[in-house]
Amino acid sequence: MVVLANPPVVDQIPLLRSPGPRDSFAAVPVVDLSSPGAARAIVDACERFGFFKVVNHGVAAATMDRAESEAVRFFAQAQADKDRAGPAYPFGYGSKRIGLNGDMGWLEYLLLAVDSALLSDACTVPSAAAFRAALNEYIAAVRKVAVRVLEAMAEGLGIAPVDALSAMVTEQGSDQVFRVNHYPPCPALQGLGCSATGFGEHTDPQLISVLRSNGTSGLQIALRDGAQWVSVPSDRDAFFVNVGDSLQVLTNGRFRSVKHRVVTNSLKSRVSFIYFGGPPLAQRIAPLPELLGEGEESLYREFTWGEYKKAAYKTRLGDNRLAQFEKK
């Protein structure tokens, strides 16, 4: 039997079949955030895919471009300088290792804490004033998008008050995380019919994640409960929203947290920004009463966000983190 070894450069990184043109997800739901139909369209997309694209979001292209070029400048530094911004846990620069339980990907990243609408003062990385200012401008803007999306969800679901969901990510002590990912190209795999895993398959544990990337594709989502992976065509002018595990529980499974992953490109680097909206640690995560039909029970045992986060951070990326909280 012939066993094909990974080329040494991607040793330890799982390989995936390279996406072909037929794997492209042309039907990604697009929500025009300025339209009166946005609330309905968001609920529909969350029920079908747990994922959608947002256009007409009102964030200036200059805000996104500035943050992107500062990030490119950061990652272009010598490895020793970037390492000085590490380790990634609890917050800082990391490379290839994702989480603390053995996951590896072809990427480097900054994992950062957000306090209110700004990078937390406790998070001294990144230290360059221009990069911090650009990220703060971006974070304030993307957080507003997250709030508008969560308000539209509440409206579409018929939940009052309109900030029933958004308040969870804006109130004092909310657990917001911001991540900058850089996936360098992986030319060693060019023409081999496979790609390196950038970020392995997973669901996000929070309520929602709002993602923006440069024009390089790589993001894939799982359709039909993981039976099929499709590539999401990149759009540097739009945001992409993931339903997270906590929102799945708050809606008693009506919205599904979307399984997603990133595959690397052999020639172009991908830079992405992701805002993760999580509630305060003490927030109880349980289905909203308005969403439970008569006699309908929660599908999950009760837990707080702090309990869920602690359990989630003990799991591997691809594990089904919600399974241990499902009622048998």
Ligand X SMILES: O=C(O)CCC(=O)C(=O)O
Q: Which amino acid is at 146?
A: A
In this chain, which of 68, 70, 204, 245 binds ligand X, going by CB under 6 A? 204
- Of 160-179, binders to ligand L4NPZUNZ (CB under 6 A) are 177, 179
In this chain, which of 66, 143, 256, 260 binds ligand X, going by CB under 6 A? 260
Please report, for residues 36, 68, 91, 252, 256, the alpha-carbon distance to residue 41 in angstroms, rounded to integers and kept in the order given. 10, 29, 35, 19, 15
Does residue 197 bind ligand X (CB under 6 A)? no
Read off φ and ψ for residue 151, nearest 5 degrees.
-65, -40
169 and 204 Cβ atoms separated by less than 8 Å: no
CB neighbours (10 Å) of residue 147? Answer: 18
What is the distance of C-alpha 75 from the center of its chain?
20
- Counting Cα atoms < 13 Å in the Cβ hemisphere of 10 gives 27
Min separation Cβ 67 and ligand L4NPZUNZ, Å:
18
Residue 270 burial (C-beta neighbours within 10 Å; 0-12, 13-18, 19+): buried
Between 189 and 221, whose beta carbon lies closer to ligand L4NPZUNZ? 221
Min separation Cβ 200 and ligand L4NPZUNZ, Å:
8
Closest CA to 112 of 175, 169, 184: 175
Site map 93..132 versus ligand L4NPZUNZ, x via CB under 6 A: -----xx-x-x-------x---------------------
Does residue 249 bind ligand L4NPZUNZ (CB under 6 A)? no
Q: Is 263 helix (H, G, I), strand (E, B) or coil?
A: strand
Between 41 and 199, whose beta carbon lies closer to ligand L4NPZUNZ? 199
- Of 263-292, binders to ligand X (CB under 6 A) are 272, 274
Does residue 273 bind ligand L4NPZUNZ (CB under 6 A)? no
Does residue 151 bind Fe ion (CB under 5 A)? no
In this chain, which of 170, 206, 213, 264 binds ligand X, going by CB under 6 A? 213
Cα diameter, the chain: 63
194 and 15 Cβ atoms separated by less than 8 Å: yes
- Of 191-210, binders to ligand L4NPZUNZ (CB under 6 A) are 202, 204-205
Does residue 320 bind ligand L4NPZUNZ (CB under 6 A)? no
Residues 6+ apart with CB under 8 A from 280: 168, 171, 172, 173, 174, 175, 305
Does residue 208 bind ligand X (CB under 6 A)? no
Min separation Cβ 223 and ligand L4NPZUNZ, Å:
20
Cα–Cα distance measured from residue 179 to residue 160, given in angstroms and rounded to the nearest whole number: 31
- Counting Cα atoms < 13 Å in the Cβ hemisphere of 73 gives 15
In this chain, which of 70, 108, 175, 204 binds Fe ion, going by CB under 5 A? 204
Closest residue to ligand L4NPZUNZ, judged by C-beta, is 99
Residues of this chain that bind ligand L4NPZUNZ (CB under 6 A)? 98-99, 101, 103, 111, 177, 179, 202, 204-205, 276, 312-313, 315-317
Residues of this chain that bind Fe ion (CB under 5 A)? 204
